[in-house]
Amino acid sequence: MSTKSQDASARLNLTSRAYQKQDSIIDVEGIKIGGGSGPVIIGGPCSVESEKQIIETAEIVKHCGGHMLRGGAFKARTSPYSFQGLGEAGLKYLQKAKTVTGLPIVTEVVAPNDVPLVAEYADIIQIGCRNMQNYALLKECGKSRRPVILKRGFGSSIPEFILAAEYIMSEGNLNVILCERGIRTFCQEMRFTLDIGAVPLLKERTHLPIIVDPSHAAGKYRYVNSLSQAAIAVGADGLLIEVHYKPETSTCDPDQAISEDIFFPLVQNVNKIYNVLNTNIM
Ligand code: PEP
Ligand code: MN
């Protein structure tokens, strides 16, 4: 064994339960994520499209009981010809939506050079699944003090996912939230397969908060409610859900975005499930 690999194996990983036994709780403007603080619901459109779209959607998220607003200003799209986001103008619209609703902002960063800019506007920075192993981006987010939602790559194993979080934490940013968003399997009927077992597995191996994105896993609005319920039942600390004031007009991911009439009962349902499972009946 080389000295380098001996060093690596001797090190106590910052993500591990051996390093920290108790659950990490991340506080974002008074909203606590992790450690049994109750389900944190983050909702919003795939992309910020206009001031009107993000403000109207933010008002829906708030009215339905959501805690934070998520919208992409920088997008990592599979095709270079797809809408790539409004960039800084999108960040400014998010800021307005925060002023109107008071909801903290979650937004994605796709390039290491953009981390300082995105961190100015974001209360939580999102790293998308396609960038889970973009080590330069992970390190740059590690230098920021903003909490980070790290999405699992759709072809990534659990150890790879945890080590990606380690990249961020090893640079000094311990505020990492893991997000399971579905992996690629032989099941073609849904966009991805939600790896629900990843939640208890990650909870066993790490002390970090775990949230679930049912929207990208399902790919269809009609499965989002059921997958959300499953995620909370299995112990997820929160949900990241695509909500749009007019889903049929959504510039990206229109089939999976849900409207107010689905989001409202969804929030009620997951809160009911959380309360049943976390009320001591003795
Ligand atoms: C998104 O959150 O809109 C997104 C593109 O997600 P993912 O990176 O999980 O595909
Ligand atoms: Mn999306």
Give the global pTM. 0.96
**What integer pLDDT is reported at residue 2 of this predicted model?**
42
Residue 117, CA atoms < 13 Å, CB-side half-sphere: 15
- The count of structural domains within the chain is 1
Q: Tokens representing 186?
A: 């032989």
**What integer pLDDT is reported at residue 11 of this predicted model?**
82
Q: Tokens representing 35?
A: 């450690």
**What integer pLDDT is reported at residue 282 of this predicted model?**
61
**What integer pLDDT is reported at residue 280 of this predicted model?**
72
Q: Which of 134, 156, 213, 240 to mutate to test the pocket of ligand 1 (most atoms within 8 A of CB)?
A: 213
CATH number at residue 273: 3.20.20.70
Q: Which of 130, 195, 224 to mutate to test the pocket of ligand 1 (most atoms within 8 A of CB)?
A: 130
d(C-alpha 226, C-alpha 154), whole Å: 20
Atom of ligand 1 nearest to the CA of 130: 8
Specify if 216 maps to a domain: yes
| The residue type at 89 | A
Specify if 44 maps to a domain: yes
**What integer pLDDT is reported at residue 5 of this predicted model?**
53
For ligand 2, the distance from its centroid to the CA atom of residue 44, given in whole angstroms, is 10
For ligand 2, the distance from its centroid to the CA atom of residue 86, given in whole angstroms, is 15
Atom of ligand 1 nearest to the CA of 152: 9
Atom of ligand 1 nearest to the CA of 76: 5
Q: What DSSP string describes the chain?
A: --HHHHHHHHS--TTBTTT--SPP-EEETTEEESTT---EEEEE-SB---HHHHHHHHHHHHHTT--EEE-BSS---SSTTS----THHHHHHHHHHHHHH---EEEE--SGGGHHHHHHH-SEEEE-GGGTT-HHHHHHHHHS-S-EEEEPPTT--HHHHHHHHHHHHTTT---EEEEE--B--S--SSSSB--TTHHHHHHHHB-S-EEE-HHHHH-SHHHHHHHHHHHHHTT-SEEEEEB-SSGGG-SS-TTT-B-HHHHHHHHHHHHHHHHHHHS---
Q: Whose CA is nearest to atom 9 of ligand 1?
A: 129
Which ligand has the shortest distance to the CA of 192?
1
Which ligand has the shortest distance to the CA of 151?
1
- Find the domain containing 107 and state its range: 37-277
For ligand 1, the distance from its centroid to the CA atom of residue 76, given in whole angstroms, is 8
Specify if 113 maps to a domain: yes
Specify if 282 maps to a domain: no
- Crossing angle of helices 158-169/135-143, nearest 10°? 40
**What integer pLDDT is reported at residue 10 of this predicted model?**
67
Specify if 3 maps to a domain: no
Cβ–Cβ under 8 Å, residues 138 and 168: yes
Give residue ranges with CB within 6 A of ligand 1.
46, 72, 128-130, 151, 181, 213, 216
Q: Tokens representing 37?
A: 């603080």
Q: Whose CA is nearest to atom 3 of ligand 1?
A: 46
**What integer pLDDT is reported at residue 6 of this predicted model?**
53
Atom of ligand 1 nearest to the CA of 108: 2
**Within its chain, how far is the Cα of 163 from the centroid?**
17
Beta bridge partners, 70, equal: 106
Specify if 148 maps to a domain: yes
Q: Whose CA is nearest to atom 1 of ligand 1?
A: 46
Specify if 4 maps to a domain: no
pLDDT, averaged in runs of 10, over the chain (282 residues): 53 95 98 97 98 98 98 94 95 98 98 98 98 98 98 98 98 98 96 98 98 98 98 98 98 96 98 93 64
For ligand 2, the distance from its centroid to the CA atom of residue 10, given in whole angstroms, is 39
Specify if 22 maps to a domain: no
